[in-house]
Amino acid sequence: MTRHIISVLVENEAGALSRIAGLFSARGYNIESLTVAPTEDASLSRMTVVTSGSEDVIEQITKQLNKLVDVVKVVDLSEAEHIERELMLIKVRAGQKDREDMKRMADIFRGRIIDVSDNTYTIELTGDGRKLDAFIQALDQAAIIETVRTGTSGIGRGNRVLRI
C-alpha cells in the first residue's frame, strides 16, 4: 500500500465530481482527500485525489478514471518529482496568558494569523500534509477549537505539466 497523488483534468460539467467520487466508492478504492476547482480554462476542472493501494490497484484506478467519459487526462503525480501543498485554517484558544506562545508557534511553522478575537486566533498554514499534522501535534490539543483542511493539491516539478 503506497500513497499516490492522482491529478485529473475533467470537463467542468455538472455531475463530474460525483462520477469520480462514485467510481471510488463503487470499486472500493480509498480516498484520503479530494480537491476540485476550475482551471485557467473555464471548461476544465482539475481534481487532485490522494489515494493509497497496491501497484495493481493504482493501475486500475488510473484506468478506470480514464474510462469516465468526462475525464480528459489522468496523471499519477507521485510517479515522478512533484510538489504537494495543502491549506489549513485552524482556530485556536488564545487568551491573555497563551497569546504570545500561540503567536510564536504559528511563526515557527510559518503560519499567519488571519483573524483575531479577544480569546482566539485563526491561523492559516500551508504545506504538505505532514507539516500540517506536525503543527496540530505541536499544539496543546485543548487549545484547538476548529480545523479546516483543503486536502492536498499537487503539481509536477519543472517541465512536467498536465494540460490538454
**Which residues make up the interface to other proteins (CB under 8 A)?**
10-11, 14-15, 18-19, 22, 26, 56, 59-60, 63-64, 66-67, 69-72, 164
CB of 38 to other proteins, least distance (A): 16
d(CA 29, CA 149): 21
Counts of helices then strands in the chain (DSSP H, E): 4, 9
CB of 93 to other proteins, least distance (A): 40
Q: Which is nearer to other proteins, 14 or 142 (CB)?
A: 14
d(CA 151, CA 129): 8
Per DSSP (E only), the strands in the chain are: 2-11, 33-38, 44-53, 71-76, 82-93, 112-116, 120-127, 144-149, 153-156
CB of 51 to other proteins, least distance (A): 16
Q: Which is nearer to other proteins, 11 or 98 (CB)?
A: 11
CB of 5 to other proteins, least distance (A): 20
Q: Which is nearer to other proteins, 15 or 38 (CB)?
A: 15
Q: Which is nearer to other proteins, 36 or 106 (CB)?
A: 36
**3-state DSSP helix/strand/coil percent for the chain, to nearest 5?**
30, 40, 30
